[in-house]
Structure 1
Amino acid sequence: MNNRPRSREKNVTSGGGNAFERTSSRSSLPIGEKKSLPAILMVVLAMILGGGGFSLSSLLGGTQPTYTDSSSTTSWSQGDADMSSINTNVDPASRSKYANIIGGGQDQVTVMVYMCGSDLESRSGMATKDLQEMANATLSNKVRLLVYTGGASRWQNNVVSSSTNQIYEVKNGQFSRVVDNDGNRAMSDPATLTRFIKYASTNYEANRYQLIFWDHGGGSVSGFGYDEKHQRPAMNLAEIDSALTNANVKFDFIGFDACLMATVENAQMLSKHADYLIGSEETEPGTGWYYTDWLTRLSTNSSTTTLNIGKMIADDYMSHNKGNYNTTLSIVDLSELSKTLTSPFNDFAKSINSMMQTDKKTDVMNARMKSREFAQTNRIDQIDLSDFAGRINNDEGSKLSSVIKSAIKYNRTNMMNAYGLSIFFPQSRTNKIDSMVDTYSKIGVSDEYSKAIQNAGTLVSAGQSVQGGDSGSFGQLLQSLAGSETSGQLAMQMLTQMLSGQNLNISGLSNRNTKFIRESTLSKDNLTQYVKSHQLDNKKLNWVNEDGKKKLKLSESEWKMIQKVDLNIFYKYNNGYFNLGEDNIFKFDNDGNMIADEDGTWLAINGQVVPYYHVSTQEKDDDYTIIGYVPCRINGVRNNLILSFTDENPKGKIIGASTIYNSSTTETNPKINTTLKQGDRIDLLCEYIEGNKKSLKVFGNMLSYSKDIKISDVKIGDNKMIRTYHITDLYNHSHYTQSY
């Protein structure tokens, strides 16, 4: 019974749930707009939830929140990812370092900070806080610190302008403006970055150059930077490469005080421009890097090795964010990685492609869904490559994992199975595969790996196509109604049409972004037979009453097809239903059968029931971390309140909040605000379904944040409720148990 997910431990306390609408519905959606439901699905919901001719007891469905992705990772581990000392070993194949360190404190260092303030500054003053940390450093004449500013509609200080880009030199605790007006330039334009680097390297010549990107990051898919003053999208990896190439400067290190930029793709691209990459695999806490101490240390001895500088940055980063949301920072030796990665990475990709030509497709996708994933609420499909390679469990994976670990000279993390470098591998965002393959061709990532993500995306799409296409819960709600399940013959016909480029009935896919299916090297006949024999049968998702309990009985092979399980509750209110979210609450009997939760309780904060969505579960032996979020407004701004449940604190705690953006605004990821303040107002937001309308309601009593806030489970109330379990298979397709 190794394929069973872990449940959150309930902590039931007394009290009522207060499940009611506090005010009329307001438009408090992600920055940007939220898609409305297709009309036909709203009609179906109206009929079911409103009692219009369908029995509530026959409901098979639920609703999936816009930003949720839940997974459970088993106890596989390659050892502790958090490093206590620097790995000073250097592979003999490594190229020579670009930076020629003179030694004896005689080196001249120019540190360039490319600071796109964005809403991190205009809302929270995070850039100003880091500027103050820089000013607090004791800098010598051997270290010149330059900051290029822009991208924020408002700066929370009386120095930096919001109307024009500027360049400042930080010295003697002061900000000296060396370029007063560099125009109103988009910070996500690579030409702006090139312009800054050329200015700094020309006017502040040095033998050691260091570059830091400061803002939002979106990983390999989206790149860097959200300029709230300009409509230009983020600077993707190919554009960063172009900017650095045109600047024609080699760097000691390039760092990202931004989310999700410690990726293999980024490292391979940057290896042409720098000796080291310093970055995070995960979303960063809002406080980000701490600048004072390492800048002071570098000024004390400008010949301090890059690894020692990086270690101080990483250690300070962890200590100043202690106890906060999942935190990582790694130092990657690009001079080594550039010479050692190519062959084992290519061999590993070939082995994946070979496995996907056989029934070992299941092994590949199980390894994918159990690997450490980052930014799961945003579903960017970035996983730890070393963890993934190890889970594939072949010689090629072991060799690749060893090469990666050798190139990562220092890694600080409080996350299990986060070894320092992530990579894109599709499961949720198949619509990004074509753009990633295009990026790979521009920055020189393995063609064999491009084939691997094309094949994986084709497999996921094929599995979804057979089930009717839409992996979202409302699409599945419609298909789960009596008589609407896709027949075997029709399913195979739909799959054949999908593989030939016709009838692309999968949400987010069209002929414009499915080149990966047409170029996939998977055998269509083999794929068809595989998908036909590897499907989760919805007819088996009915409860069996046994020993006075509702039980779900599935085989071991069927459990192997399942990547996540969450309880979904709809609570009757007036003429509609509140969707209270999804929580990993269940039990198993001695035979491995799942037992339904029936006690009528739900997660609450200070006794107030909250809408809650389980995001991820990570396990290592008896250690575990469960992350989820509560949709809300904090002081009027749309956020997700982030909750953590661990083996050390199973009752849970609030560890931060994340601002919500619509993808039309930016696809980069926000830093996590870990500095919630005493008295911050928290208005809960809950999805409400009534008739043919779905809206977001202000829910229950307002909460006031305090450090002693309590999380527990309480009775929801006496109104009717509908419960179902949302089960997601290895194709990222949604299934729903019989409701009860």
Structure 2
Amino acid sequence: MEGELQKAKVAAIIFMIILFLLLSGGCLEEETDIENPGGGTEIKSNHSTEYEGDFPKRQLSTFVAVYMVGSDLESSNGYASKDIFEIIDGASTLNRNETEVLVAYGGAAVEGWEGMTIAELEDLRKDSEDEVIGNEEIHRKKYPHANMGDAAGLETFLSYIRENYESESILLIFWDHGDAYRGLCFDENNGYDRLELPELSDALEASGMHFDLIGFDACLMSTLELARAVEPSADYMLSSESIEPTHGWDYVAFIGYVSESPEASAEETGKVIIDSYLDNPSHVPPRTLSLLDLSKTEEVLQNVDWLAEEMGTSFSNSKGYCGLGASITKARKFGVEPKKGSEISMDLKSFALRIGEEMPELTDRSDDLIKSLEDFVIYSRQDGTMPEAYGVSVYSPQTLDSYSTYYGRVSISETWSEFLDGYAMKTCADFTEPGISKSGDTFSVEDDSGLASVDQVYFIASPEGPVLIGKMPLTCSGGTNYSLPPWGGEWIFIENSKTGKSSLIYAVCGGESENGDRIFDTELGLQRDGEFRSCLTQLYLDTLNGTVRAYMNPYEVLDDGNILFSKEVLEPEPGDIITAYAPVYGEAGIKYWTTLGRLKMDENTAFVYDFLPERTYYTALHAEDYRLNVNMSEPKEIILE
């Protein structure tokens, strides 16, 4: 009798374990109330008005799903919440019988943004009544331990969509930091774990869903690598080649459009998002946004492979290698990493155009690629500050460190990887600096492996070597000859017009905008409200009146050594403390970076283009090859008194 009783207890325990496992199954553990365990599970979140279980799926015309990883953008400045408020404002005329907006938000170290919360538009409306998102238990589901930078978090969100909604059109939007082919959606609560492209692709495929449009309101995501990853799961991709400013997309216009036009096609909606993003007068540079027809992805990939095969045969002769190097150097760049002398990506059409110019023997192949890209990018705009941003980028071969540590896992093809391997091996084998010789007022500059750049540099002297304060590109005057223009000491610096205090800065001219402004890149430190941040800064010099506008893009160096650019573009404000940095040069190039100066901003302090503060300056010709070997001519002294 006692043995039978023991068996019954064991059986009961096993039954309870099995029941627990059945009830707790799913992608992630959620915080829920569970009812009716014997007759099918009804999983209810607090304050929800609709439940999973035997209820039919909602039938809609348009469904917008937003995967919003707040990260430090939310915890520091509430940027994600601001866009949720825009979504609510844009949905003022939305008919929920036709259209729904579902947001999964979390991934930020702030109350209410732990884990992942899934909320419909009506939940968000109620939650926003106190002007704070996430502090009320108003949602469909909450997963307090979810990692939104992991595939499981995304899979859970997609599973919820699949089980509860059916729609004629489904738009899936990702919101957070973006890092091109290195991933996106960095969860602040989980060590900034990110969704890598293989994770993203696998989660989309596992969902079994197909989306009319997948959009990325994040920096640097309009890459061919990403298009290849999402192509099986969507018709269109909407994304930016460049850094995206703080404000991101105009969600009032976007959600307002789908509210008024629930039958609109994904292509029409994508164009509205692009136009509202570019035309909003409150938005700041740089801005690019592109709509890609993913059905054309394979054709582009094939043309890249054919071009890569022929480029790969060019390494055996210096002329071919020089042509490749020049094409890479001259192509439009994105995510420039100033202290590394490299960038994250380059515009693919811009690169193909340069190949046609520098390597005429490859014109047929480059033209084929250009034609396929023009079919692939069906609508693209930039704000005038990014000439030759044609809509889709690809890994830049100048980024050798990222290639060895990461890119091989997400390369667009084996043929492309073989080309990159060959180019990297050729480049890394070059240890010879460019040769510079002077005859009269002319310099002859030569390098057996090709010149990446020839610039006029401006610098001050230090015991450790020249400290650069500026670079301007020089144009070849014929053959290998260059002339050094006269320089009277005018350059960009920071000055307080009332006190006379000033700080030099290091600025590199990166070209011109469409309206004729000169664009300079510089490395600055920004201290605001007690927080210090490193910033890649773009300066726009109006050459007609000499005024300078500054836009600072914060970034951080991750544990793996890669740089993550923030989805923020900040303008200097009174109270900010600006720190300027510059490279110190030695015989082998940059030795280290040093602090040039530090200045507190107020109503009298600004970036100016004028004669520099009184002291001795120098100018010289500076040459650099593709391996970053450098040489500099004898300097000319300029004394400002």
Is 1:118 aligned to residue 80 of structure 2? no
Match of 2:269 among 309, 314, 318: 309
2:203 corresponds in structure 1 to 243
Offset at residue 600 of structure 1 (A): 4.7
Offset at residue 304 of structure 1 (A): 0.2
Aligned residues: 541
Name the CA distance, whole Å, in 1 between partners of 2:442 and 2:515.
25
- For the Cα contact (< 8 Å) 1:602–1:716, is it kept in 2? no
Of stretches 187-196 and 342-351 in structure 1, the one that deviates more from structure 2 is: 342-351
- For the Cα contact (< 8 Å) 2:503–2:596, is it kept in 1? no
Residues 1:451 and 1:647: Cα distance change in structure 2 (over 3 Å): farther
Name the CA distance, whole Å, in 2 between partners of 1:563 and 1:163.
48
Higher relative contact order (CA 8 A, sep 6+): 1
* Aligned 1:102-501 pairs, distance under 5 A: 108-138=61-91, 139-141=94-96, 142-154=98-110, 161-171=112-122, 174-175=125-126, 177-179=138-140, 181-220=142-181, 222-320=182-280, 324-338=284-298, 340-358=299-317, 359-377=319-337, 379-393=342-356, 394-414=363-383, 415-433=386-404, 435-440=406-411, 445-463=412-430, 466-467=431-432
Offset at residue 570 of structure 1 (A): 3.2
Name the CA distance, whole Å, in 1 between partners of 2:603 and 2:311.
48
Match of 1:699 among 597, 604, 609: 597
Name the CA distance, whole Å, in 2 between partners of 1:207 and 1:334.
19
When you count strand as a share of all residues, which structure comes out higher?
Answer: 2
1:714 corresponds in structure 2 to 611
1:26-58 alpha-carbon deviations (Å, 9 max, x no partner): xxxxxxxxxxxxxxxxxxxxxxxxxxxxxxxxx
1:618 corresponds in structure 2 to 511
Is 1:595 aligned to residue 488 of structure 2? no
Residues 1:189 and 1:556: Cα distance change in structure 2 (over 3 Å): same
Name the CA distance, whole Å, in 2 between partners of 1:734 and 1:233.
38
* Letter paired with 2:533: R
1:289-332 alpha-carbon deviations (Å, 9 max, x no partner): 11112212212221101111011100111123667322110000
Q: Secondary structure at the match of 1:229?
A: helix
Residues 1:615 and 1:283: Cα distance change in structure 2 (over 3 Å): farther
2:28 corresponds in structure 1 to none
Q: Secondary structure at the match of 1:659?
A: strand
Residues 1:623 and 1:354: Cα distance change in structure 2 (over 3 Å): farther
* Letter paired with 2:472: N
Offset at residue 152 of structure 1 (A): 1.4
1:383-433 alpha-carbon deviations (Å, 9 max, x no partner): 111111122111011011111111211101132111100001311334424
1:522-547 alpha-carbon deviations (Å, 9 max, x no partner): xxxxxxxxxxxxx622xx26x66x5x
Name the CA distance, whole Å, in 2 between partners of 1:202 and 1:666.
40
Residues 1:447 and 1:402: Cα distance change in structure 2 (over 3 Å): same
- For the Cα contact (< 8 Å) 1:614–1:627, is it kept in 2? yes
Q: Secondary structure at the match of 1:584?
A: strand
Name the CA distance, whole Å, in 2 between partners of 1:111 and 1:586.
50
* Letter paired with 2:522: Y
Residues 1:307 and 1:434: Cα distance change in structure 2 (over 3 Å): same
Match of 1:563 among 449, 453, 473: 453
2:579 corresponds in structure 1 to 684
Q: Percent identity?
A: 23
1:69 corresponds in structure 2 to none
Offset at residue 622 of structure 1 (A): 9.7
- For the Cα contact (< 8 Å) 1:686–1:698, is it kept in 2? yes
Offset at residue 601 of structure 1 (A): 5.0
* Letter paired with 2:209: V
- For the Cα contact (< 8 Å) 1:259–1:669, is it kept in 2? no
Residues 1:232 and 1:153: Cα distance change in structure 2 (over 3 Å): closer
- For the Cα contact (< 8 Å) 1:144–1:204, is it kept in 2? no
Normalization by structure 2: what TM-score?
A: 0.76
Name the CA distance, whole Å, in 1 between partners of 2:72 and 2:227.
27
* Aligned 1:571-582 pairs, distance under 5 A: 579=467, 581-582=469-470
Name the CA distance, whole Å, in 1 between partners of 2:549 and 2:183.
29
1:528 corresponds in structure 2 to none
Name the CA distance, whole Å, in 1 between partners of 2:626 and 2:116.
47
Residues 1:715 and 1:558: Cα distance change in structure 2 (over 3 Å): farther
Name the CA distance, whole Å, in 2 between partners of 1:399 and 1:694.
43
Name the CA distance, whole Å, in 2 between partners of 1:425 and 1:658.
21
Normalization by structure 1: what TM-score?
A: 0.66
Q: Computing the radius of gyration over CA atoms, which structure comes out larger, 1 or 2?
A: 2
Offset at residue 270 of structure 1 (A): 1.0
* Letter paired with 1:380: E
* Letter paired with 1:716: P
2:632 corresponds in structure 1 to 736
